[in-house]
Structures are given as structure tokens and as C-alpha cells.
Amino acid sequence: MENVNQQSSSPSAIEGLPSSFPPSGVRGLVIIGAGFGGLKLAQALGSKKGFHVTLIDRFNFHQFQPLFYQVATSGLDASNISFPLRRAFQKDKNVHIRKADIKSIDFAHHKVIGDNENFFYDILIIATGANTNYFGNQQLIENTYPMKSTVEALQIKYRLLQNIEEAIYATDQNILQSLLTVVIVGGGPTGVEMSGAIADMRRFVLPKDYPEIDFKTMMKVYLIEGSPELLGTMSEKSSEESLQYLQKLGVEILTNTMVKAFDGKMVTTNTGKKINASLVVWAAGVIGNMPEGIKKDLIVKGNRIKVDRFNKIIGMENVYAIGDVAYMETEKYPQGHPQVASVAIAQAKTLALNLKKIKNNKKDIEEFEYHDKGSMATVGRNLAVVDIPKPHLHFGGFFAWMIWMGLHLFLILGVKNKFAVFSNWIYNYITYDNNFRLIFRAFDRTKTHQ
């Protein structure tokens, strides 16, 4: 615990510091990443005297990742699940937002190197989250669609809708089948939710938009999972029910199966099965977003950084990692914590409390302990699964679906966003329709428009 309270030499003595660096006695705290963990930490310290917080992200908005799949399937507009970072901190004058791509970290000089600016720190928190893990398969990187950002969710939506538009004109049966086949790889919550949403589109929405296509016969939705069951981190009951729900919706489930190749036209699995498809959504794993400058001996499997029970990076002072990019071994989680939003938020809360204690020279800082409050996944209209560990409860079907919607609505930032999401959900439920089936594409400004 003593090591946690040691202070490194202040960067205020370094030549070339910008004049905007906080005055003496104020801790310059830099947070890299405005995901769930980084945002929560900035909020917890934003109104506290003695901290000068710089929050850096490559986007100028916070993204509500659990609902990316609804953007990808036209259920919500991208703006519904995105919240401007500067708006979130308008009343916190000691929080400064910077839109930047981080190139590397110079720990010796307390410096974060960005594409447009360098950021000096007294305390550094790495909350860079995780990205899509392709396990080194370059062909899959080039031809499949990930879904780890709002932009990527929009790309999936445009490709899905454009494929259906092109299917109207297809005269070759193989091309038609390819355009109307969607393959989702990864049977975790993202894959399950995406599969169910597309199956609902096929069932309720697309036949009304495209009466010339027989979607019930022609459109295929595959969900491929490498392990024996879906939702492997949830209960056996949730796994079984999600499988039954998806099968009821007409999704073809392939477990114990891995995608080995996809050339943009044909999916090939390790079992030798080939699927004629032109859209593959990759949700089969995550890998930590690792800034340059981290010592290799601190990086473990999955590109995560070793931290102690206080989220301090092993062997470093005043440098912390939280969320998906942090690897902490505890008695309850000997292989590290699950890479979910609730862990990142809980770590941010504990770290904020500890940093305030350290600043006030208190030594009773707390070790992080994750208390799992449950997990859930929605499968489709009126269908979801919910697990609550204490007391040991499981819910499925409509009631679980209501719980899922209520919790996600509560977690979304901003009253306007909450209202937009809720009103769209009500509209979609009543009309059996999705409201954002728009295909935007760039146009040539050199051409004259008639």
C-alpha cells in the first residue's frame, strides 16, 4: 500500500511545459479514453478541488456500446446513443476535453504524445478499452465488419440495406442468396443480440419494404460460435433459452464451429462448411487497445496491462489502468475480470475515491473488489435472459426483456437521449417497424446536379 501513496517527481519542473498546465498544488490528471470507465472517473473528480482533469478520446462523444446493434439494424439513430463529451462537463471547469489520437506514452517525462498535442501529467489513467480481436487473420480483417464503435455500426447498417437493394436486381441465384445471407461470428451478448435483431427485421420489417423478395425463404441468418454454447459467461439456463429463442426466430446456430476464412463471397469454417454470404459481422472476441510505450513484460494475453488491487500498473507510480485494458488477478477472478462496462464503472469509482484520499494524505485506500450484480442479453422482440447472482435468480422471456430495457434506458447519458431511445422503442413496438432505414453515401461534388 505504501507504494501506491508515493508521489513521482512533478512534471512541473520539466522544460517546455505548456502554460495551461495546472498551478502548483493542483494535480494534473490525464485520462486516456472516454468509455464507461474514463467517463465515470472524470465525472467523479470533475467537481473536486485540487484536480485538473484532461479527458482524451479519439471521438468528441461518449458511445453507449450496448446499443450499437440497434443502430446497425435501424432501430435507433446514431445520435440517440452518442453524447457530446463537452456537454457532459459544461459545469465542471476543471475538466478539459481533448479530441486526439494517442501515439505513445513517454513515462520517463510524464508525457502522453498525441497526434496534435502532447499532454503532461502528474497522474495518468489508461482507460482505452478494447477493440475487435481477429486473432491475426488478415483476410477476416479486410472482409468482415466489426462493431466496436458507432461508425462501425453505421457501416453494417448501410451494407445490410445496400445488399437488399441490390438483391432486387439480382438475376443469378447464387448472387441473390449471397446478398440475402448474414453471418454473425461470436455467440456472446453482441452476437446473440445482433442475430435476434436481424431475424426480427426479416420477420416484421423487410417484407413490407420489399414485397418483391420472399424473405422467409431466401434470407438466411447464421450465428457461429466456437464454443459448445451461446452466452458462455452467463448461466446454463440463459444459454439454453437464448438458443431456443433464436431457433424460434429462424436463426441457424452453429456451435463448436470457427470461421477460418472469408473472401467477401464465401465463409469457410473449420468443419469444412461453406456459406455463400456477402456480409459477415465479426463479434468473436476483443483485444485491449494498447498505447505504445508499455513494457512488454506488463502485457498479458488479450493485450491487457497488469495492475495491482488498486488498479496501479505494476512497478509504476501514479500510472493506472481501468476497464477492458486492465488485468487484475483476485481470488474471485484469478484470470482477470470480465471485460464489461460494469467492471470499468466500478473500478473508476474505487479509483476516484482512492485518488481523493491520496491527495488528502490518507492511507486507508481501498482494494478493488468486483461485486457482480448480474448479466443480461436481449434476443428479440419480447425475448431476453437475465441472471442475478445474489439472490440466485434467472428470468427469461418478456419480463427479462422489460428488465433489460429499463436498465439500459437508465444508463444512457442525457435526458434527451433517454427520451429519444424510449420514444423510438415505443414506436417500434407498436408499429412493428424500425425508423432509420436510410442509406447515406458520398456524392461527387464535381458533377453538376440537375
193 is catalytic: yes
Q: Which among 306, 324, 359 is the end of a domain?
A: 359
Instruction: Write the pLDDT tens digit of every residue in 100-127.
Output: 999 999 999 999 999 989 999 999 999 9
Residues 96 and 164 in one domain: no
Higher-pLDDT residue of 9 and 348 is 348
Q: Determine the Cα–Cα distance for residues 87 and 103; give it in Å rounded to an integer.
A: 26
Q: What is the mean pLDDT of residues 135-141?
A: 94
In a domain, 405, yes or no: no
Q: What is the mean pLDDT of residues 122-138?
A: 94
In a 3-state reduction of DSSP, which class is residue 115?
coil
Residues 157 and 255 in one domain: yes
Only one residue has cell 458520398, namely 442
Domain that holds residue 194: 138-284
Contact by Cβ (8 Å): 390, 59: no
C-alpha cell at 424: 423510438
pLDDT at 435: 82
Residues 264 and 158 in one domain: yes
Contact by Cβ (8 Å): 218, 196: no
CA 7 to chain centre: 33
Instruction: Pick the closest to residue 322 from 334, 339, 335 (CA basis).
Output: 339
Q: What percent of the chain has pLDDT over 70?
A: 92
Residues 163 and 274 in one domain: yes
Residues 215 and 184 in one domain: yes
pLDDT at 125: 97
Would you place residue 22 in the very low, low, confident or very high pLDDT band (cuts 50, 70, 90)? low
In a domain, 112, yes or no: yes
Residue 165, CA atoms < 13 Å, CB-side half-sphere: 9
Tell me how far CA of residue 42 lies from CA of 96, 148, 150, in angstroms.
10, 22, 22
C-alpha cell at 251: 436463426
Would you place residue 1 in the very low, low, confident or very high pLDDT band (cuts 50, 70, 90)? very low
Helix pair 189-200, 236-248: axis angle to 10 deg: 20
In a domain, 26, yes or no: yes
Q: Determine the Cα–Cα distance for residues 398 and 379; give it in Å rounded to an integer.
A: 11
CA 19 to chain centre: 35
Would you place residue 4 in the very low, low, confident or very high pLDDT band (cuts 50, 70, 90)? very low
pLDDT at 439: 87
Is the predicted pLDDT of residue 135 greater than 70, yes or no? yes
Contact by Cβ (8 Å): 275, 138: no
Q: Determine the Cα–Cα distance for residues 373 and 411; give it in Å rounded to an integer.
A: 14
Residues 25 and 80 in one domain: yes
Q: Which among 359, 379, 396 is the end of a domain?
A: 359
- What's the CATH number where 176 sits? 3.50.50.100
In a domain, 305, yes or no: yes
Instruction: Pick the closest to residue 345 from 378, 385, 316, 372 (CA basis).
Output: 372
Residues 97 and 183 in one domain: no
Would you place residue 25 in the very low, low, confident or very high pLDDT band (cuts 50, 70, 90)? low
Mention every residue, 6+ apart, whose C-beta is less than 8 A from residue 426. none
Contact by Cβ (8 Å): 49, 38: no
- Complete edge-to-edge strand list for the sheet that includes strand 266-269: 259-262, 266-269, 274-276
Whole-angstrom Cα Rg for the chain: 23
Is the predicted pLDDT of residue 5 greater than 70, yes or no? no
Torsion angle in degrees (nearest 10) through CA of 37, 39, 40, 42 = 120
Residues 232 and 196 in one domain: yes
Instruction: Write the pLDDT tens digit of every residue in 410-448.
Output: 999 889 999 999 999 999 999 999 888 988 865 554 554
Q: Active-site residue among 152, 193, 225, 241?
A: 193
In a 3-state reduction of DSSP, which class is residue 241?
helix
In a domain, 435, yes or no: no
In a domain, 262, yes or no: yes
- What's the CATH number where 38 sits? 3.50.50.60
Residues 227 and 293 in one domain: no
Q: Which among 232, 250, 284 is the end of a domain?
A: 284
Is the predicted pLDDT of residue 210 greater than 50, yes or no? yes
Instruction: Write the pLDDT tens digit of every residue in 299-357.
Output: 999 999 999 999 999 999 999 999 999 999 999 999 999 999 999 999 999 999 999 99
Q: Determine the Cα–Cα distance for residues 34 and 351; give it in Å rounded to an integer.
A: 16
H helix runs in 249-381, sequence order: 341-359
Q: Calculate the average pLDDT of the chain.
A: 91
Residues 279 and 291 in one domain: no
For residue 376, which amino acid is it? M
As beta bridge partners, residue 288 has 130
Instruction: Pick the closest to residue 378 from 258, 247, 256, 242 (CA basis).
Output: 242
In a domain, 202, yes or no: yes
pLDDT at 149: 93
Our count of domains for the chain comes to 2
Instruction: Pick the closest to residue 124 from 138, 139, 108 (CA basis).
Output: 108
Instruction: Write the pLDDT tens digit of every residue in 154-199.
Output: 999 999 999 999 999 999 999 999 999 999 999 999 999 999 999 9
Q: What is the DSSP letter of 298?
A: G
Helix pair 36-45, 341-359: axis angle to 10 deg: 30
pLDDT at 12: 44
Is the predicted pLDDT of residue 8 greater than 90, yes or no? no
C-alpha cell at 241: 433459452
pTM of the model: 0.89
Consecutive H or E run containing 261: strand 259-262
Q: What is the mean pLDDT of residues 206-227?
A: 96
In a domain, 64, yes or no: yes
Residues 8 and 128 in one domain: yes
Is the predicted pLDDT of residue 203 greater than 70, yes or no? yes
As beta bridge partners, residue 54 has 30, 96
In a 3-state reduction of DSSP, which class is residue 343?
helix
Would you place residue 10 in the very low, low, confident or very high pLDDT band (cuts 50, 70, 90)? very low
Residues 49 and 99 in one domain: yes
For residue 45, which amino acid is it? L
